[in-house]
Amino acid sequence: MKLNELATEVLAKVGGAENVISLVHCATRLRFKLRDSSKAQTLALKNTPGIIMVVESGGQYQVVVGNEVSQVYELIASHLGGDASEQQFAEPAGNEGFFARFIDIISAIFTPFISLLIAGGMLKGLLSVALVASWLTTQNGTYQILFAASDAMFYFLPLFLGYTACKKFKGNPFIGMAIGGALVHPLMIAAFTASQMPGAQPHHFLGLPVILINYSSSVIPIIFACWLSAWLERLIYLRLPSAVRNFITPLICIVVAVPLTFLLIGPAATWVSKMLALGYELLYGFNSAIAGMLMGGLWQVCVIFGVHWGMVPIMMNNISITGHDTLIPLLVPAIFGQVGATLGIFLRTKNAQLKGSAGSALVAGICGITEPAVYAITLPNRRAFVFGCLCGAAGAGVVGYFHSAVYSFGFASIFTLTQLIPPTGYDFTVTAAIIGLLVSLTLSTLLTYFFARVNAPKTVPCADSAVDASLTQTHGQVERETITSPMQGRLKPLTQIDDPIFSGGLLGKGAFITPSQGRVVSPVDGTVASLFKTFHAIGLESSGGAEVLIHVGIDTVKLDGKYFTPHVAEGDEVVRGQLLLEFDADAIRAAGYSLDTPILITNSDDFSDVIVSDVSDVEENTPLLTLVR
């Protein structure tokens, strides 16, 4: 599909231009802020060629496009008119939680210039290599010019943050830049330097003492200052005469916000910054190896839901306060865990299409962009994704144990290795990071190659004895187990369910049913292995060894058991067709929850195939899944 066609389709399927409040993008995702997310055609988008995945997280509707995201963004922005990232209309009142709003604010502030910041970090890393190799010296003109180019973005970070933060807070972004410029003005930097000398006289503003701080590269102070400026701007703009409001408003904002930032906001925010850095260091210092294993193992899960942006301020703040960051190095093995899993699939598969997709995802993954690998390659092969996470944890444990750190900002990638070189020169912390990367990459590749079911046959329709004959012909002497339908309703492919964990196959293969009645019966002879305390999900173990999960509805755990009535207990033996639980379908729908019910084989990797019936409407106890060993 051509990019202009893809852009038109994406815009139409998110509800049209009138449903879009704002749009920004990161390395692979279009991040929409929608007026009404129910108008978006999520399932249709997921099945659109060129779309890798759709995720709703952090108050954003995220469409994962891949490496062409910037071109698609520009095409969509041209249809929206003006600056797509600028919220031109009032947002609808919503019930977003604090965390969702925090992720939305952080991503909107940092995404517009994050690629330039990463580029600066990469250039700094390459300059470090040049110094270690004695190709350049710090007195060399070439080095100084390139260092200035690499450091400018970070040194003058308050100016860039001033623009994007004020825009996000619906203020004049150029006022934000002016505030940021004041913070790093040469006069104030010189005053700070002088204040560090013995016998220096204190500075005052209208008789009030000023705590002088070096705000170059700072993150938090300018964000708070921009929030104040935007609030003040909205407060006074309409109260001023139209003839003077366009220049009196910024005058008042600057005269009020800049002194307040130097007097109060800056010192308070700097204290918060130092406490944040200290808090991270305390957690990291408690056991750096365990911290590494946690981050290495869970990072890709955070990426799936798009909440990894919440870590960006911590990384940047660490560099600003301490001059280095130990969080970014922990993510390198997490990245290469998925790269290794993708490489294992690439080497193992004989499917030309899968091999081609894995090859392109490998290149993106090495450069730090793992979404194509995760969504298209490893997550559908559930075991490969798990191997990637586990091996990422192992590699990150090594990196954490030896306290590897970066000295310039950038997202984790192969280029991070150049940013690990300390100002004092190459040391073992760099070697440890390389070892951690190789541990993650090698183990993940080998485990995926030898133990992931990469070449499992594709799912095919199954409805009658004719399919049984074809199975015997294809697989020879095979063991099969039939899972019958636990409810009456409409059967649909699992890939169409509106939940990335279920649709991605992370919990196992299967299908989902939109029920027409509020009953769940046992699809097997076996035992109740688990019954969630909220009664919305039940796990069964069949006499044939299949582990079956029936999850009634999406996010229904939030009902805390309301509208569900169980008829069995954990450990009970059940027979096929026995009533397991009942639920009030109308009440659950009225509460705003989908009743789409996944029926999953959670130990799918123990079977060579999970075959879904091709019947659209199913009754209780009719064939649903056929498991082939």
**Which residues are part of the catalytic machinery?**
26, 551
- Ramachandran sector of residue 81 (left: φ over 0; alpha: ψ -120 to 50; beta: rest): left
| CA nearest to 164, candidates 44, 279, 302, 24 | 24
For residues 49 and 66, what is the distance between their CA atoms, to the nearest angstrom? 12
For residues 375 and 370, what is the distance between their CA atoms, to the nearest angstrom? 8
For residues 50 and 519, what is the distance between their CA atoms, to the nearest angstrom? 39
- Please give the single-letter amino acid code of residue 90: A
For residues 576 and 624, what is the distance between their CA atoms, to the nearest angstrom? 13
| CA nearest to 61, candidates 255, 94, 81 | 94
| CA nearest to 382, candidates 319, 493, 304, 311 | 304
- Please give the single-letter amino acid code of residue 358: A
Q: How far is CA 126 from CA 87, 433, 487, 597, 615, in A?
A: 38, 17, 60, 52, 59
How are beta strands 573-574 and 617-618 bridged, if at all?
Answer: unpaired
Q: In degrees, to the nearest 5, what angle opens at C-alpha 249 toward C-alphas 243 and 253?
A: 170
- Ramachandran sector of residue 244 (left: φ over 0; alpha: ψ -120 to 50; beta: rest): alpha
Q: What is the dihedral of CA 517, 520, 523, 526, to 10 degrees?
A: -170
DSSP string, 540-574: EEETTS-EEEEE-SSSGGGGTTTTEEES--TT-EE
Q: How far is CA 175 from CA 165, 169, 262, in A?
A: 11, 12, 16
CB contact set of 304 (below 8 Å; sequence gap of 6+): 55, 374, 375, 379, 500, 504
How are beta strands 60-64 and 29-34 bridged, if at all?
Answer: antiparallel
For residues 183 and 164, what is the distance between their CA atoms, to the nearest angstrom? 16
First to last CA, the chain: 38
> Residue 453 is encoded by which pair of tokens?
């079911």
Helices 312-322 & 327-348 angle (0-180, nearest 10): 130
